[in-house]
Amino acid sequence: MKTLRFDILTIFPAMFDSPFGEGLFSRARENGLLDLRAHDLRDYTLNKHRKVDDCPFGGGAGMVMNVEPIVRAIEAVKKDRPRARTILMSASGKPFDQKKAWELSREDEILLVCGRYEGVDERVGLHFVDEEISIGDFVLSGGEIPAMVLIDAVSRLVPGVVGDEACIRDESFTADLLEYPQYTRPQEFRGQTVPEILISGDHQKIRDWQRQAAREKTARIRPDLLKNAKTSEQDRTAPGKKP
Point out which residues bind ligand SAH (CB under 6 A): 89-92, 114-116, 118-120, 134-136, 138-140, 142-143, 146
Q: How far is CA 29 from CA 8, 33, 51, 161, in A?
A: 16, 6, 32, 9
Question: Are the beta carbons of 143 and 90 closer than 8 angstroms?
Answer: yes
**CB-closest chain residue to ligand SAH:** 115
Closest CB to ligand SAH among residues 142, 181: 142
Shortest approach of ligand SAH to residue 30 CB, angstroms? 29
Rounded CA-CA distance 157/54 in Å is: 39
Rounded CA-CA distance 79/90 in Å is: 24
Where helices occur in the chain by DSSP H, the ranges are 23-30, 67-80, 98-105, 122-123, 144-155, 165-169, 203-221, 223-226, 233-237
Paired with 109 in beta bridges are 5
Shortest approach of ligand SAH to residue 228 CB, angstroms? 23
Closest CB to ligand SAH among residues 124, 177: 124
Shortest approach of ligand SAH to residue 178 CB, angstroms? 22
Shortest approach of ligand SAH to residue 127 CB, angstroms? 16
Shortest approach of ligand SAH to residue 162 CB, angstroms? 24
Closest CB to ligand SAH among residues 109, 121: 121
Rounded CA-CA distance 133/93 in Å is: 4
Shortest approach of ligand SAH to residue 164 CB, angstroms? 30
Closest CB to ligand SAH among residues 88, 175: 88
Alpha-carbon 180 to chain mean position: 21
Neighbours of 34 (CB within 10 A): 24
Closest CB to ligand SAH among residues 19, 142: 142
Closest CB to ligand SAH among residues 52, 213: 52
Q: Quick one: DSSP state of residue 104?
A: H
